[in-house]
Amino acid sequence: MVMFKKMKSFEVVFSDPAKTYRSGEKVAGKVLLEVAEVTRVAAVKVLAVGEARVEWTEGSKRPKEVVEYVRYEDVLLLDNQPTVCRKDTYLHGDITVKSHVSSVFFFFFFFFFKNRPMPTSYKGKHGCVEYWVKVFLEFPSQPALEIKKTFEVVEAIDVNTPELVSPVIGTKQQKVSCMFISDGKVSIAAKIERKGFCEGDEICIDADFQNACSRIVVPKAAILAKHTYLANGKTKVFREKLSSVRGDHIISGMSEAWRGKSLRIPKIKPSILGCNIIRVEYSLLIYVHVPGSKKTILDLPLVIGTIPYNGPCSRSSSLSSQISTEMSWGQFSLPDQFEVSIAPPCYGDVAREDHRLDRPTTPLLDDGDSFDSPLFMYAPQFQFVPPPTYTEVDPVSEAKAE
């Protein structure tokens, strides 16, 4: 253990510490070793690994799976010394570092990623995708000293491919029931401009909601992340809601339309689709909250990429189109004169009996998701006196004339 006290500094430094790597790129760095007195080192070895790991507890069992994507091993030599060993050689003589004061020595390393898809760095509830470099400092008669340094890798996902720039359209219709009694149906028809998005983009939603049941419903939309873990033939799924937006209440027999309703994609990891044991998938859920019944859910798939969309902005185009349409109203000329007709009499002036209600029977809604919100709307059972037949001759004026 005395040998360990002689090490003042032992660390791994990457050439570009803030860089995020991709497949086909070069990873380079150095091992910094600072000693205060004579230290004998048998070998300095480097090991770089990129792997996906899944593990969770299931009763007395622990399903576990590991898939390796990158592996690189080498023995490092002191800088400015000739190379006397080949790669993967584990012993090439002692390195004696002599110093009267403090001395710093560097061991450089580099390796290349293969030009093939690699999953993005990820850390989840039951698994992770991790890339790291570990350096072993071996001594002649003492246990080896090691240090580990992780780095980030991002899989390049271009959202400009034909599959990801195509619009996504879907419809959903569901019958609503209460106590096994049919209560109409709720329907959704929605469309988004494309399937591929990047972090910070806005999803513009065009949707139509139809409420043909007797309850008051609320339309909503949310971005959902689905994490799937596979190990030993078993599957573990974890879902989380990332961001959401809601619309106005829709009463019975009415409908609502969303035109360009926006929902921003938060700061999230890109989709992981190429890993064998971990998958991260995203979707846009457009749904209707029905009190006392199951939600009507329309699931539209999303792919979160890393290369931004470079096509025309559909939201800007739609806004420009809307502005131009509003400005075009100025081109129409209004007539100089209008026909003036006598309006029919007010019903309140001619009705002899007062049939107005003292208070409304339909309660006001504060929040459609609260438990005290009404499940049904009931129309009051009463009849107004039918209004008189409209005529341009005023009977009151004729009676005065007589």
Q: Are 114 and 249 members of one domain?
A: no
Q: Are 193 and 97 members of one domain?
A: no
Are β-strands 196-198 and 296-305 bridged in parallel, bridged antiparallel, or unpaired? parallel
At 289, which CATH number?
Answer: 2.60.40.640
The answer, yes or no, to whether residue 164 has pLDDT greater than 70, is yes
Question: In Å, how far are 35, 105, 109, 337 from 9, measured between CA atoms?
Answer: 7, 10, 18, 93
Rounded mean pLDDT of 103-123? 89
Half-sphere exposure of residue 256, counting CA atoms within 13 Å on the CB side? Answer: 19
Residue 331 within a domain: no
Q: Is residue 208 within 8 Å of 257, Cβ to Cβ?
A: yes
Q: Are 297 and 193 members of one domain?
A: yes
Neighbours of 31 (CB within 10 A): 23
The answer, yes or no, to whether residue 329 has pLDDT greater than 80, is no
Rounded mean pLDDT of 307-333? 51
Helices and strands, number each (H, E), in the chain: 5, 19
Residue 258 within a domain: yes
- pLDDT for the residue numbered 311: 81
Q: Are 28 and 116 members of one domain?
A: yes
Q: Are 125 and 204 members of one domain?
A: no
Picking from 91, 126, 151, the residue at the C-terminal end of a domain is 151
* pLDDT tens-digit readout, 196-241: 999 999 999 999 999 999 899 999 999 999 999 999 999 999 999 9
Residue 368 within a domain: no
**Residue 158 pairs with which residues in a beta bridge?**
307
The answer, yes or no, to whether residue 303 has pLDDT greater than 50, is yes
The answer, yes or no, to whether residue 306 has pLDDT greater than 80, is yes
Rounded mean pLDDT of 361-378? 39
Q: Is residue 382 within 8 Å of 393, Cβ to Cβ?
A: no
Picking from 151, 174, 207, the residue at the C-terminal end of a domain is 151
With cut-offs at 50, 70 and 90, classify the pLDDT of residue 368. Answer: very low
Q: Are 193 and 237 members of one domain?
A: yes
Q: Are 238 and 285 members of one domain?
A: yes
Give the integer Cα–Cα distance in Å for 15 and 237. 38
Q: Are 83 and 131 members of one domain?
A: yes
Residue 194 within a domain: yes
* pLDDT tens-digit readout, 9-66: 889 999 999 999 999 999 999 998 888 777 778 889 999 999 999 999 988 889 999 9
Q: Are 11 and 147 members of one domain?
A: yes
Q: Is residue 233 within 8 Å of 210, Cβ to Cβ?
A: no
With cut-offs at 50, 70 and 90, classify the pLDDT of residue 396. Answer: low
Q: Is residue 104 within 8 Å of 61, Cβ to Cβ?
A: no
- pLDDT for the residue numbered 187: 95
- pLDDT for the residue numbered 34: 84
- pLDDT for the residue numbered 76: 85
With cut-offs at 50, 70 and 90, classify the pLDDT of residue 362. Answer: very low
- pLDDT for the residue numbered 285: 96
Q: Is residue 204 within 8 Å of 262, Cβ to Cβ?
A: yes
Residue 60 within a domain: yes
- pLDDT for the residue numbered 229: 96
DSSP character at residue 118: -
- pLDDT for the residue numbered 270: 95
Q: Are 105 and 187 members of one domain?
A: no
Give the integer Cα–Cα distance in Å for 210 and 187. 5
Residue 282 within a domain: yes
Q: Are 274 and 209 members of one domain?
A: yes
The answer, yes or no, to whether residue 6 has pLDDT greater than 90, is no
Say how many domains are in the chain: 2
Residue 369 within a domain: no
The answer, yes or no, to whether residue 79 has pLDDT greater than 70, is no
Residue 202 within a domain: yes
Q: Are 96 and 218 members of one domain?
A: no
Which domain covers residue 115, as residue numbers? Answer: 2-151
Picking from 310, 332, 356, the residue at the C-terminal end of a domain is 310
